[in-house]
Structure 1
Amino acid sequence: MANTYTVEIHYAGNVTTLQVAEDQNILEAALDANADLPHSCLAGVCTTCAGKLISGTVEQPDAMGVSSELQGEGYVLLCSAYPRSDIKVEAGKEEEIYQRQFGQPA
């Protein structure tokens, strides 16, 4: 049986708290719970679902849309992020990630 972690998502003044299995990506769990979060490709390619970890750790093997350097700074793509501990994450970081990677607004 997969481990389950508490995931707290901060977005647009709201906080959504979910129980997410280690084999489910965070965005999928959030959408299943009817959370209103930005998303598009669902494949780790665009940066629409970008967030930044406040605390905790994730594994994101398919997050091609965010550089390993930015991943090291705590940036995540929620569609490709699998919890490895209880986490807190701030969603809505698309513009920030895009500017950091490409130096221009999305």
Structure 2
Amino acid sequence: MTETAAAVATHTIHAELDGEMHSFSCRSDQTVLNAAEAAGVTLPSSCCSGVCTTCAAVVTEGSVEQPDAMGVKSDLQEQGYTLLCVAYPRADLKLRAGQEDALYEAQFGQYQK
């Protein structure tokens, strides 16, 4: 193992989707969505570029870094909303996946009334 590989942290992700809990490991240099796919866990996704909100989730414990999450306003990121396709874990995570509708409502609901 190289020195760089040894320095990469691995985190445990607990992702709830449709009432079912999934757990898998994710390296800090890997997106949560890529780690889920590698573990055989199917989470909603589409563009994989941080633009659409298909992979939206809410982080309830832990933290992520998501510099490319263009589809989520910064104030909503502070509330825990994340796009799993561009989210890198910085700690063990607990999250609720499948939050596209909730994120849409939080970002644009005031314009629908």
Q: Report the alpha carbon displacement of residue 42 of structure 1 after superposing the two structures with TM.
A: 0.4
TM-score normalized by structure 2? 0.89
Q: How many residues are treated as equivalent by the alignment?
A: 105
The 4+ residue runs of structure 1 with deviation greater than 2 A are none
| One-letter amino acid of the structure 2 residue matched with residue 74 of structure 1 | G
**Map 1:34-45 → 2, pairs under 5 A:** 34-45=40-51
| One-letter amino acid of the structure 2 residue matched with residue 69 of structure 1 | D
Gaps in structure 2 of 5+ consecutive residues = none
Q: Report the alpha carbon displacement of residue 13 of structure 1 after superposing the two structures with TM.
A: 1.6
Q: Report the alpha carbon displacement of residue 70 of structure 1 after superposing the two structures with TM.
A: 0.2
Compare 53-62 and 28-37 and name the one that shifted more: 28-37
Share of identical aligned residues, percent?
49
Residues 75-106 of structure 1 show CA distances to partners (whole Å, capped at 9, x for unaligned) of 0000011000011010011001011111168x
Q: Report the alpha carbon displacement of residue 31 of structure 1 after superposing the two structures with TM.
A: 1.2
Residues 1-54 of structure 1 show CA distances to partners (whole Å, capped at 9, x for unaligned) of 211001111001211111100000000111112212111000100000000011
TM-score normalized by structure 1? 0.94
Structure richer in helix, relative to its length: 2
2:83 to 71, 77, 82: 77
- Alignment RMSD: 1.2
1:30 to 15, 21, 36: 36
Aligned to 2:73: 67
Gaps in structure 1 of 5+ consecutive residues = none
